[in-house]
Amino acid sequence: MTSASGSSTPPAPATGAEEGQTWRATQEQREGAVDLAPLLSGSNPWTVTQASAGSLRNRAVLQCDRERFSVDPEAVDRLFLELCASEALLVGVGSGLSFAAGYDYGGAVFARFFADFIARYHFSDMYRGGFHQFSSPEEHWAYWSRLILLACYHEPPGTTCSKLVRLLAGRDAFVFTTNVDHCLARAGVPEERLFAIQGDFGLWQCSRACHPKTYVNEAQVRRMVAEQRNGRIPSDLVPYCPVCAAPMCMNLRGGHPFVEDEAWEKACTRYQEFLEHIEGKRVLYLLLGIGDNTPTIIRTPLCRMARANPRSFIASISLEDRGHALAGTAVEDDPDLAGRCLHLQADIDLVLDLLLKRQEQKR
């Protein structure tokens, strides 16, 4: 419907295609409401946003269910004894540790900085939204640049990772993780004691993996966030491989050939060397926040190692119940592991506090 030309009367209500335009206008208004400036400022959007939203969602979960997540002090005592008695520690870290530190991908921060994408695609959380097939690279990188900046270049609000570092200080320990968010390295886990097997939010690679190199993305990511409009970055910011001109992609395992660059290969070698070094020793295998996403990477091999080493002990801490946390590992049915296996269904941050307190008291 076209309005009568030359008429001074207001146009008739829109129908058909014009209704679509009305809807788009509303959408653009919504998109316009997403203020990305706090992502680029010096203050931490995780801390500010979650504090203004009341509290961390994970803390709220714990507070709502005190009984279920209360920590058994005897179990913490047992874990502390094993920690002190161990000659070496192999710590397997999953997403539950980052969640305990305050990286809540589905909470107030997601609602605030992804309101336009949520309105458009009904994403339930930041990470899952990343798997969406966006209509253009400009839209893809508008989404991913916000995600990378939040998950890689801003600290989580909690100090859980630093607590783990304090607990491991002076011990013969190695950390093996599926997390890709830099938290552990930033908190001070030494490079030579850390293997992030699944990649890194802070790195790009060629999507064809035409050469075994990764690229730090921080400067480009900041520009993408600063210069995007209506959920799209300018076309000239879309990254392409400097060798073969294919699109660049995240250096994350899954969906495309994964580049294992020199740093990754070195970390992998150090991990293998650590496994040889602890063979037959009194080892504490500690699983922190391991979920069900990729059980075969950390949970299954660590349980297998524990079973094979009669001097070892295996402990897990997560919000999952025991059956869920150790699912598929058969540790509970294994007589060889009787008395050498412990699961704490609890907040990792709280358990680390209790272990550090015991460590202080011991000194």
Taking CB under 5 A as the criterion, the residue among 1, 25, 84, 244 binding Zn ion is 244
**Quick one: which of 275, 291, 3 has its CA closest to 127?**
291
Q: How far is the CB of 243 from Zn ion (least distance, A)?
A: 5
Calpha distance 68→195 (Å, rounded): 33
Looking at residue 42, its amino acid is: G
Residues of span 116-145 touching Zn ion by CB under 5 A: none
The answer to whether 241 is a known ligand-binding residue is: yes
The answer to whether 161 is a known ligand-binding residue is: no
Instruction: Confirm or reject binding of residue 354 to Zn ion (CB under 5 A).
Output: no
Taking CB under 5 A as the criterion, the residue among 36, 210, 305, 356 binding Zn ion is 210
Calpha distance 99→160 (Å, rounded): 9
Q: How far is the CB of 246 from Zn ion (least distance, A)?
A: 5
Number of residues engaging Zn ion in binding (CB under 5 A): 7
Q: Which residue's CB is nearer to Zn ion, number 207 or number 318?
A: 207
Within 4-136, where are the H helices?
17-32, 37-40, 45-52, 57-64, 66-69, 73-85, 95-100, 108-113, 115-121, 126-129
Taking CB under 5 A as the criterion, the residue among 149, 161, 168, 206 binding Zn ion is 206
Q: How far is the CB of 211 from Zn ion (least distance, A)?
A: 6
Q: How far is the CB of 244 from Zn ion (least distance, A)?
A: 3
Instruction: Choose the stretch contacting Zn ion; rule: CB under 5 A; options: 95-103, 238-246, 281-289, 324-332.
Output: 238-246
**Quick one: which of 341, 286, 260, 82 has its CA closest to 175?**
286
User: Any residues with CB less than 8 A from the CB of 76 and at least 6 apart, and which?
Assistant: 344, 351, 354, 355, 358
Instruction: Confirm or reject binding of residue 246 to Zn ion (CB under 5 A).
Output: yes
- Report the relative pairing of strands 199-206 and 248-252 from DSSP bridges: antiparallel
**Quick one: which of 203, 125, 184, 150 has its CA closest to 348?**
184
Instruction: Confirm or reject binding of residue 241 to Zn ion (CB under 5 A).
Output: yes
Binding residues for Zn(2+) are: 206, 210, 241, 249
- Applying CB under 5 A, which residues contact Zn ion? 206, 208, 210, 241, 243-244, 246
